[in-house]
Amino acid sequence: MVKFIKQTTILIILGILVFPSCTKENLKENLGVFNPEIINSAGNFELQATDVSNVSESVEFLWVNPGAKANPNVRANIDNSSVIDKGTATIKIIDAQGNEVYSGNLNEHGSYTSDYGIPGTWTIELNLSEVSGDLNINVEEE
């Protein structure tokens, strides 16, 4: 009976050690398809990915839009110079209270300003559907 318990314990421990490594490997494979270069600092978020090919992915990034004590509401400037050859790509930005302050199509180049939002940790959501091309997005505090 003791031998059975020891063997079961060893199998459980091995399962715990092996399972996360498989998960990490799968994650690496997914990131290999969409491997953006990211700068994410308070007040500035930049994402660039070149030669993306047929990627369908939804990703979220947490970004701090600090604001100022004198102004409880802040906005963000969004600069999109992506070149989408195929597919659709959208961006959504949500403020620290969960309110959507910006939504846009990355197939359309340009500079935009979000609605006012609450300072703090904002969420930047990217939704890519069969996207091929180059992604180049900059979001910064106004």
- 18 and 86 fall within a common domain: no
Number of folded domains in the chain? 2
Helix (H) or strand (E) holding 120: strand 120-141
| 82 and 129 fall within a common domain | yes
Low-confidence ranges of the chain (pLDDT < 70): 1-33, 68-71
Task: Tell me, yes or no, whether 29 and 51 share the same domain.
Answer: no
Based on the domain organization, do 3 and 63 belong to the same domain?
A: no
Given a contact cutoff of 8 angstroms between Cβ atoms, the answer to whether 113 and 20 are in contact is no
Task: Assess whether 15 and 28 both reside in one domain.
Answer: yes
**Same domain, residue pair 2 and 51:** no
Tell me the CATH number at 50: 2.60.120.290
* Same structural domain, 12 and 39: no
Q: Report the Cα 123 to chain-centroid distance in Å.
A: 8
Residue 22 and residue 70 share a domain: no
State in Å, rounded, how far the first CA of the chain is from the last one.
68
pTM reported for the whole predicted model: 0.76
| Nearest alpha carbon to residue 59 among 108, 113, 106, 114 | 106
